[in-house]
Amino acid sequence: MEAPERNLALDLVRVTEAAALNSARWLGKGNKEEGDRAAVDAMRLSFNALDICGKVIIGEGEKDEAPMLFNGEELGTGTGPKVDVAVDPVEGTNLLAFGRPNAISVVGVAPAGAMYDPGPSFYMQKLVVPAAAKDVVHLDAPVKENLTRIAKALDKDVDDLVVFVLDKPRHKKLIEEIRAAGARIELHTDGDVAGSLMAVDPRINVDVMMGTGGTPEGVLSACAIRAMGGEMLARLDPRSKAEEGALMDAGKDIRDILTVKTLVKTDDVYFVATGISGGTFLSGVRYTGNGAITHSLVMRGKTGCIRFVEAHHAFERVMRFSSVKYD
C-alpha cells in the first residue's frame, strides 16, 4: 500500500489551460501562426513554474515552421522529478484559425527515458481502438477483417461502427475499403490527437481511428491511450524519399510495428488536454466578459484516474500577478 502522492497531472492542467486561454483569442481570425505563438508563450511560462526537470521529447513547429517548444528544450524549475515531455500547444492550428471544432491544447509527461523518440519521422500509420478491442486487431490485417473483429469485441454490427479518418488524399483507398465493409466514417480535416482520444473515450460515438497522421501526435496520443487502457498499433510511414532517407540514417526501421507499450514504456504517465475551439470531444474556451470558462481532461495512468475539470477564471484577479495577459 502507498500513501497518496503528488498527481502531476493536476499541475499540468494549468499549463494547458493557460495555452488554451491565450490562443482562443485567435479563434477564426485566419492566422494560425499567431494563435500557435500565443499558446506556446503561455505554455512555456506555465511549465517553467513547475518543480520538474523536464526535457521536450515531442515538440512542435518543426514541420510547419510555427513557433516552437523545440525537441530537447528543458522545462521546469530544475528541481523535482526528471521527466520526458510531449507537447502540442494547439493541436489543430488550422481548426483554430478557421474557427472549426476540436482544436485542443495537449501535454503528456512520463519519467525520463520512457517516451519513444521518433527522430526525423513526421508521419506514421495508426490504428487506435478501445480497451475491449485491443487484442483482436493487427496493423497489417485487411480493413474489413479488422472492422469485423472490432465489431465483435464491442458487441456491435460492423455497420454500427464509426471510424475516424483524416480527410486527406492519401486516405482515398482506405475510405473506400471502410465503406465497402459497411462501417460509417467521420472525416476530419485535422486533429488526429483528438481522433485517437475519441476512439478510446466511451462517451464519444467513435469506435476506431485509422490512417496516417503525425508521428509526434502519435507519441503524444499514446500517453492518453495507455492511461485509458486502449491500444495503438503504429508504423513509421515516410511521405517522401527525403523523410525515408533521414529515418534510415537515424537507424529507424520502418517495418517495425509500434504499440502503446513501445511508444510509452510505463503506466506512470500523465496526460492533460484543454479544449480551445470546442466540439464533440471537449468544450472550448468561453469568455464571460470578466473571465473565462475552460474544460479539460486530466489523466493519471498509474491509478487509471480520469478527471473532467471545468475551471472558472477571474481575469480581474489573475491579471494582478499573471505574466500571461489573457484579457
Binding site listing for substrate:
91-93, 123, 168-170, 190-192, 214
Angle at 13 between CA 322 and CA 221, to 5 degrees: 135
Helix (H) or strand (E) holding 108: strand 104-111
**Closest by Cα among 146, 122, 126 to 136:** 146
Residue 155: count of CB within 10 angstroms of its CB? 8
Residues 38, 9 contacting (CB under 8 angstroms): no
Binding site, by residue number, is 36, 60, 88, 91-93, 123, 168-170, 190-192, 214, 217
Grid cell 489551460 in the structure block, residue: 17
Residues 93, 68 contacting (CB under 8 angstroms): no
**Closest by Cα among 146, 170, 248, 234 to 196:** 234
Helix (H) or strand (E) holding 216: helix 215-228
Binding site for Mn(2+), by residue number, is 36, 60, 88, 91, 217
* For helices 143-153 and 172-181, angle between their N-to-C axes, nearest 10 degrees: 50
Residues 121, 62 contacting (CB under 8 angstroms): no
**Closest by Cα among 180, 172, 197, 173 to 145:** 180
Angle at 104 between CA 160 and CA 9, to 5 degrees: 100
Angle at 141 between CA 139 and CA 147, to 5 degrees: 95
Residues 26, 96 contacting (CB under 8 angstroms): yes
**Closest by Cα among 107, 66, 65 to 86:** 107
Q: Which residues contact 253 (CB under 8 A, 6 or more apart)?
A: none
